[in-house]
A and B are shown apart, each in its own frame.
Chain A
Amino acid sequence: MSIKLPAPVQRFTTDLDEPLQQGVYRSALRDERLAAILGASLGILFSVCFVTGLYSHVQQNPLSWFPIQPRPAGLYRLSQGLHVVAGIASVPVLIAKLWLVWPRFVAFPVAKRASHLVERIGLFPLVAGGVFMTFSGVANIAQWYPWKFSFTASHYWMAWVTMGSIVAHVGAKWMIARRALARPSRRPALADADPVLGTTAEVPNGHGLSRRGLLTTVAAASGVLTLTTIGQTIRPLRKLGLLAPRDPATGPQGYPVNRGAANAGVVDLANSPAYRLEISGRVARPMSLTLDQLRALPTHDAVLPIACVEGWSYSAPWSGVRVRDLLAMAGADPDRTVLLESLEPQGVYRTSTLNADQAADRDTLLATHIDGEPLALDHGFPCRLIAPNRPGVLQTKWVTKVVVV
């Protein structure tokens, strides 16, 4: 049984069992080998995003059986930097790959076998997931939220949908991709003779992009996007950061912030003489310190990064009171979890938690100074948490309560 399409429509459809390059889609760039190279590159970039994304997720949603360690201090900075760099670099690869395989989208008949049907249904979460992950990620680093859902929750759960589709797709394309990648680059005469892939010759010299030219174009686009944004995390390249959403050297005291004091609604509370830092919970001696008392405590210096989930970061010299010293003064057990509360009246990030290892680290501070100057209001005056290997959103600012749990 077969349904016939009218000839003018039929002309624009493709046959699933034929090579990508067929009918009206005769560009020599629609080539199995190119599709495999782009697909493998996307697979690697998306996997990097997935693994680093999972790490960011468990940083923010701790698992009891996988306590985040405070060392190495720069791990989150590296991991999240990679997440955003790989995500940005994948944009041109995804666009090129989708362009290349688009004729498959207009295949008719839609499926010839059960496996076709399974594979093609799986293409929907694959394409929709890939487009959604890159679009939502790029919009998020530009802090553009044209939607109503929570970015973090949706980006996280859709990552599983996308990765699942990639697993199914890799299994479906493994054989053909392996054959295409194993095939050495051929001269045109050989291409015509290749029975398996049936790819015709490279376009004649100088007429339109060659296959190598397309790969060069994709690499150039990825390179341009990377070079013009990576300066937000690699300071020596900041002058190249023409399209970077942040500049690691622009901000109060020369350092950027994600959310200032005015937007957090803490200006009056932070400046008030009534400010106290309270240490409470499971402690022998609850304490309530004024700003002067806090500043009179022994201080410790540490150079630590602030690494934002949005991929920008900077490293700075901080000084302040060690959390473990405060806990010892209050007579808390050393292996306790610690909850920090901000002056912020509301918001998802008004509290954060330190596990026992993080609280005990020598560099985990309630910082009062940056670069030797008292913290600016936007950086968390009177004091903020700064701890090694931690997302910026969990480096709670305007800390007013330390609760031993």
Chain B
Amino acid sequence: MGHQGGGGVKEEHRAGPLFWISAVAGWLVIGWGLRGVFQHSIDTRPANLARFVVGGALLHDLIVAPVVIVLGVLLARAVPGRARAIVQGALAVSGIVALFSYPLVRAYGLAANNPTSLPRNYTAGLLIVLGVVWAVAAGLVIARLRTTAPGHTG
């Protein structure tokens, strides 16, 4: 159902020399990396590494992404139109900040006998950041409702 009709492979979809040259070059570099992984297997522990590399991709592609997509659909139904964009943005920022700070909040890396390791209260830090994000979002929603209020626009 191409926009320009016509059979066969459309010009824009045809893989040219650039495609194949970069593919070969890219795979040579990938091969160099994989060779390094296996050559230094005492350090890289390929079996354990593979669990994290493959697991990370599968976790994202099969769980995180679909969940976010479904949440997006639900959000679009639940939040009124004029506030929706701002709520979506604030939620995305909040989710990313929470994800990033998760190991800090859980203090996984806290070293005994070292007062400089994870010196802050990261739960409080996260809450402050989220508070600021949602305060800004609330301000934007109010501003938007004012400018698009029925009385205002006539």
Contact = CB atoms under 8 A, between A and B. Distances in A.
Contacts of B97: 221, 224-225, 228, 243
User: Interface size for chain A: under 10, 10 to 19, 20 to 34, or 35 or more residues?
Assistant: 35 or more
A128 B37 contact: no
B81 A206 contact: yes
A144 B109 contact: yes
Interface string A127-165: 111011001101100111111111011101111111111
Interface string A290-318: 00000000000000000000000000000
A3 to B, nearest CB: 19
Contact of B116 (A91, A115, A246): A246
Contact of B26 (A122, A147, A224, A378): A122
A217 B92 contact: yes
Interface string A347-359: 0000000000000
Contacts of A157: 33-34, 36-37, 40, 44
B119 A136 contact: no
B12 A164 contact: no
B30 A257 contact: no
A368 B36 CA distance: 40
Given A217-B88, A242-B125, A147 B100 contact: no
Contacts, number: 268
Contact of B89 (A98, A216, A259, A262): A216
B76 interface: yes
Binding site of B, secondary structure by majority: helix, strand, loop or mixed?
Answer: helix
Given A113-B9, A247-B116, A247-B119, A167 B111 contact: no
- Which one of B19, B36, B114 has the greatest number of beta carbons of chain A within 10 Å? B114
A83 B66 CA distance: 31
A67 interface: no
A142 B34 contact: no
A263 interface: yes
B15 to A, nearest CB: 3
B129 A224 contact: yes
Contacts of A122: 23, 26-27, 30
A160 B28 CA distance: 10
Contact of A147 (B15, B48, B93, B129): B48
A242 B129 contact: yes
B119 A158 contact: no
Contacts of A148: 45, 48
Nearest to B9: A113
Given A157-B37, A171-B26, A221 B92 contact: yes
A243 B89 contact: no
A113 B89 CA distance: 38
A388 interface: no
Contacts of B118: 142-143, 245
A240 to B, nearest CB: 10
B23 A245 contact: no
A323 B63 CA distance: 56
A131 B84 contact: no
Interface in A51-70: none
Contact of B60 (A127, A153, A243): A127
Contact of B88 (A18, A176, A209, A242): A209
Contacts of A132: 52-53, 56-57
Contacts of A165: 26, 30
Contact of B114 (A168, A174, A257): A257
Given A210-B85, A259-B114, A245 B65 contact: no
A312 B76 CA distance: 41
Contacts of A88: 100
A180 to B, nearest CB: 11
B154 interface: no
Contact of A206 (B2, B84, B125): B84
A161 B86 CA distance: 37
Interface of B: 1-4, 9-10, 12-13, 15-16, 18-23, 25-34, 36-37, 40, 43-45, 48-49, 52-54, 56-57, 60-61, 65, 68-69, 72, 76, 81-82, 84-85, 88-89, 92-93, 96-97, 99-101, 103-104, 108-109, 111-120, 122, 124-126, 128-129, 133, 144, 148
8 shortest A-B CB distances, which residue pairs?
A: A171-B22, A168-B26, A143-B109, A164-B29, A160-B33, A242-B125, A115-B15, A164-B30
Given A102-B61, A147-B52, 9 more contacts: A91-B96, A119-B15, A148-B48, A150-B43, A154-B37, A171-B20, A179-B12, A196-B3, A206-B82
28 contacts: A122-B26, A122-B30, A132-B52, A135-B52, A142-B103, A143-B108, A144-B103, A145-B109, A146-B108, A149-B43, A149-B44, A150-B43, A153-B44, A154-B44, A161-B37, A164-B27, A168-B23, A171-B25, A195-B3, A206-B84, A208-B85, A213-B89, A225-B100, A242-B120, A244-B120, A246-B116, A252-B116, A263-B112
